[in-house]
Structure 1
Amino acid sequence: MSFLPTQRVLVIMPAWNEEEAVGATVAEVLATDAAYDVLVVNDGSTDATAAVSEKAGATVLNLPFNLGVGGAMRAGFKYARRFGYTRVIQVDADGQHDPRNIAEVLAGLEHADICIGARFADRGDYTVSGPRKWAMLVLARVISKVAKTKLTDVTSGFRAGNERAISQYLDHYPAEYLGDTIDSLVVALRSGCTVIQVPVEMRPRQGGTPSHNPMKAAIYLGRSVFALLFAFTRKRSVIPATQLPIALATGE
């Protein structure tokens, strides 16, 4: 049995202990466009994330233990390939990504293989400061040179990919800290994928606890530089410009 390409969009939502927000986020995404299918990758949660997500209408992929965003997204890309999706987009389970912006980010795939929903592109009032801001500025400047286009928010997780991007991610999508944003983006660029960004607005978390504090911000600076350097040591993938149909046997 095989699965043929579909015109539907897979919204991949990695979630770890997000029972407070994930239900409303799933429902809002599904209400935004009938063509969106939501896959919640339950990343080893110890709360009711899976049950809440399923009740809200999402398909739930349960991981046996916490793998981090990188591992959760890799599982999501495998699901996308298995079931024939040619367009995917990552959306945070905490409600910070506005579902009304999904169409705008997806529209960027008409011009590139990967489109980033950028928080620092003259739209909205999202700001960062201190070491975290310095790290983001340095990362954006370096990766913009690799991409040969101006990127202002290379650590944004609000990003979409086409069939070519999915193929590259399946070949290489790291699970390390910041690997899901910096590392994956650099390797995709060096493998021939094209990247653009579109401005989006961020919203406050709809529930749960923010993951950043002053100590973590300082650690972020060091880890981000390390992640960038490490990304340039990764092997490149050979991804042809034109992909074959992605129908796969269930036994893959």
Structure 2
Amino acid sequence: MGFGSTETQGNGAAAPRRGAPRILLIIPCFNEEASIGGLLSEITAIGHDYHTLVVDDGSSDATAAVASRSSPVARLAQNLGIGGAVQTGIKYAARHDFDFCVQIDGDGQHDPRAIETLLNAYRKQPSNITIGSRFIDRTGFCSTRMRRAGIRLIVLALNGLFSGGGRITDPTSGMRLMDRTAIAFFAKAYPADFPEPISLAWAMRAGLTIGEVPVEMRARETGSSSIDGLKSASYMIRVLGYILLARLVRAS
């Protein structure tokens, strides 16, 4: 499978699509008015022909108003959580026939220049999902010690319980590229709870391929994480339970 996009001929055969692939950046946000404007400005400054969709997950601040100056915005009537926000973007990508979508957080932790790194990795070694990993080169912000320990447990569970798909080092990364196969798969169903690691478990169970590429992430400048402190331990325990459940349930 090459990097170029495809379109279907009348006989059902795939023919190359003319022109560059269409790429949608899905930016889930909850109360990110302080950071979303700067992120969208960074994306514009890169100069690539990316399409963006900011998914405002029921924010109580001016996130939607700030984002709408530079991007289309899908404003959810109530907070669905990161899983519902991301699937909103994936459904949009499927409906509008995008070749790739890239999830990138609205809090500014993900450097949008790394999007090209994900695309280059796909060109060299296509995978249905390509993750931007903090833990390959271990540069930049790599989270707290407690969360890194928990992430290692999740890594062991995913790589130990699921064969094939690819070896994973950063299952909680919120920066990832999905190709048409992954878009179609997740448009049908996407985990509401702990979506980053659980979506990988679902994908591996279904036989999708997963790749990783090193990226450098930045520390959050505004707001706070929803799983800091003691919540980290609860988060990791529950994620491990969901991963085990995903292994025991046969893929549909």
TM over 0.5: yes
Alignment of 1:11-160 (within 5 A): 11-55=25-69, 57-110=70-123, 111-145=126-160, 146=162, 148=164, 149-160=166-177
User: Structure 1 residue 107: deviation in Å?
Assistant: 2.5
Q: 1:225/1:131 Cα in 2 relative to 1: closer, same or farther (>3 Å)?
A: farther
Over residues 99-148 of structure 1, what are the superposed CA-to-partner deviations in whole Å (9 max), with x where a residue is unaligned? 11011112333321100000111141333445422221121123234254
Runs of 4+ that moved beyond 4 A: 3-6
Task: State the TM-score, normalizing by the size of structure 1.
Answer: 0.85
1:168 aligned residue (178, 181, 185): 185
Over residues 37-84 of structure 1, what are the superposed CA-to-partner deviations in whole Å (9 max), with x where a residue is unaligned? 1100010111100010011x1110011100001001111111111111
C-alpha distance in 2 between matches for 1:94 and 1:158: 12
CA RMSD of the aligned region, Å?
A: 2.0
- Pair 1:197 & 2:212 matched: yes
Q: 1:234/1:74 Cα in 2 relative to 1: closer, same or farther (>3 Å)?
A: farther
Q: Give the % identical residues.
A: 38
Higher mean displacement: 98-107 or 222-231: 222-231
C-alpha distance in 2 between matches for 1:108 and 1:8: 17
Over residues 178-198 of structure 1, what are the superposed CA-to-partner deviations in whole Å (9 max), with x where a residue is unaligned? 1x1111111111112100100
Q: Which runs of 5+ in 2 are unaligned?
A: 1-6, 9-16
**Equivalent AA in structure 1 for residue 78 of structure 2:** F
C-alpha distance in 2 between matches for 1:221 and 1:189: 19
Q: Give 3-state SS (helix, strand or coil) of 1:232's partner.
A: helix
Is the CA contact 1:109–1:161 (under 8 Å) kept in the aligned structure 2? Answer: no
Is the CA contact 2:157–2:240 (under 8 Å) kept in the aligned structure 1? Answer: no
Is the CA contact 2:36–2:63 (under 8 Å) kept in the aligned structure 1? Answer: yes
**Equivalent AA in structure 2 for residue 98 of structure 1:** D
- Pair 1:206 & 2:221 matched: yes
Q: Give 3-state SS (helix, strand or coil) of 2:231's partner.
A: helix
Q: Which runs of 5+ in 1 are unaligned?
A: 238-252
Q: Give 3-state SS (helix, strand or coil) of 2:68's partner.
A: helix
Alignment of 1:216-231 (within 5 A): 216-231=231-246
Q: Give 3-state SS (helix, strand or coil) of 2:230's partner.
A: helix
C-alpha distance in 2 between matches for 1:200 and 1:213: 22
